[in-house]
Amino acid sequence: MTTSEKTTGAGKTAPVVPRLIVTDLSKNYGAIHAVKRVSLEAYPGEVVALVGENGAGKSTVSKIIAGAVSRSSGQISVDGEQINPASVGDSRKHGVSCAFQELSLIPGLTVSENLDLVDKSPIGRFSQKSASETARKILEKFDLSHIAPESLVASLSLADRQLIEIVRSLVGNPRLLILDEASSALTPPGVSWLFERIRELTASGGTVIYVSHRMNELAEIADRVIVMRDGEQVGSFTKGSWSVDELVSMMAGRETSSQFPQTTEIKIIGEPVLRVSNLRSDRLYGVDLEIYPGEIVGVGGLAGNGQSELLSALFGAHAARADNWEFAGIKLRRMNPQLAVRLGVGFVPEDRKLQGLALALGVGENLVLPWQKLFGFGGKPVIKKEQGWLNSVISSLSVKTRGVREAAGSLSGGNQQKLVFGRWVDKNRKLLLLHDPTRGVDVGAKQDLYSSILRLSEAGISVLWLSTEVEEIVNVCHRAVVMYEGKIVKTLAGATLTADEVVGAAMGGNND
């Protein structure tokens, strides 16, 4: 058995047995080799990060260890005991728990029900009162008292659903915690909350496998980084021994840079493509906004301050009214999604799984869906007719798929995100509304999306870009608006468009 050494309080070293040993792990889907002979170790008190491009096999490895996916071959040991989990419940019995990228919560149940049922038999007794009391104590313990135990999971924001997914994985004090893109839907305060939980767990001897595309998080939280590419382990680094460019190059298998692209300066000419005055809804309290052709406007702010509602309202998916609403010179009284698409608006929503895709339909059907009336699902002729455009989108965004007939639900999360964005490309859009379009995608895919957005901008298409990553707003957008309590409280451009200014305004300070 492999051992390491750990310094004791007396200055001596003592052998430490790995918490997790994975040996020659493989997973095949027919002729597709999703994971190829991966071997890794993780020790008590350690955070090991798995990184790689979308489809590199990170999530598959995580799901195999967590019992959500069966392995084709290989061995897994936890604290010296070989395990062969047949389910997530089996893994939890061995002290292994996972917060999944594609959330495992049941939307139609309450928070308390989701937390209570995690380790219970489906035929066990259930008490709503007891579940609510237990959930309230759990939420208080993890500093999440703002979430009500009786709330339906479906009614929560994506960020709060992600927090509950993480808390659910912490119930039972696991020895090995797997976090699969657990920070992807979180704002900076949420990430800080997550890191506090990780440090609490590792300080008590727990082990964490941390899967993430956010390179800036690794230097802060990871003790080691393991790089995967095309289903294989291709390299590893210890803390402080890597640079972001080194990781990105190893992930991609080629020399590349993680830096943001150079945004072309824009001159404001002509009339705005969008002009709205005193936009109001149940979460918006008098928003005034203008966006000009080719302009990339970032939307910043802490979660829950109206940013999501703003994008949904402008697409007509969230009821709103305004004193004046003009789009491309047309005066509007109300907006709805059908009218928005017809006028030239595209929308990438927050939750690709619930709002963006029909997961049971094919890649091609999802891409053409906004352009078809309910075609009674005679979809094959449409797919055949649009084959050239479909292939162009898949190629330009490097979507890893077996073809246009493959179910969207079988793709990795990042590749699903590319589909939600790609359906609007080259379809005569005038305005794109983007809600965290790079959430859950790898660094290389982010660069592809940045380049696509800049090409759209240069072609005169306007972009309103809500991002939870402040650096994206600062480095890619021409201008930014920051929201606080349902209003735009700050507009930043040029020398004033800095991370400090965005964060300060988001916290309610330094506002106009």
Write down the pLDDT at residue 8.
33
Residue 379 main-chain phi, psi, to 5 deg: -80, -20
Write down the pLDDT at residue 188.
81
Q: Tell me whether residue 245 is exposed, middle or buried, using C-beta atoms within 10 angstroms of its C-beta: 0 to 12, 13 to 18, 19 or more.
A: middle
How many CB atoms lie under 10 A from the CB of residue 347? 25
CA distance 454 to 264: 8
Model confidence, pTM? 0.68
Q: Tell me whether residue 246 is exposed, middle or buried, using C-beta atoms within 10 angstroms of its C-beta: 0 to 12, 13 to 18, 19 or more.
A: middle
Write down the pLDDT at residue 289.
97
Which is nearest to 66 in space by CA: 102, 29, 111, 107? 102
Write down the pLDDT at residue 414.
81
CA distance 502 to 507: 9
Q: Tell me whether residue 84 is exposed, middle or buried, using C-beta atoms within 10 angstroms of its C-beta: 0 to 12, 13 to 18, 19 or more.
A: exposed
What the chain holds in terms of domains, given with CATH numbers, is 16-252 (3.40.50.300), 260-344+429-445+460-512 (3.40.50.300), 358-427 (no CATH)
CA distance 270 to 255: 41
Do the beta carbons of residue 266 and residue 295 sit within 8 Å? Answer: yes
Give the pLDDT of the chain (512 residues) as one tens digit per residue: 455 555 433 343 445 789 999 999 999 987 778 899 999 999 999 999 999 877 788 989 999 999 999 999 999 999 999 999 888 989 999 999 999 877 788 888 999 999 987 766 555 567 788 889 999 999 999 999 999 999 999 888 888 999 999 999 999 889 999 999 888 878 788 899 999 999 999 999 999 999 988 888 898 999 999 999 889 999 999 998 988 878 878 887 765 555 677 777 787 778 999 999 999 998 899 999 999 999 999 999 887 789 999 999 999 999 999 999 999 999 998 899 999 999 999 999 988 877 888 888 889 888 988 876 544 444 555 677 788 888 888 888 888 888 888 999 888 878 888 899 988 987 789 999 999 998 877 777 788 888 889 999 999 999 999 998 888 999 999 999 999 989 999 999 999 999 889 988 887 755 55
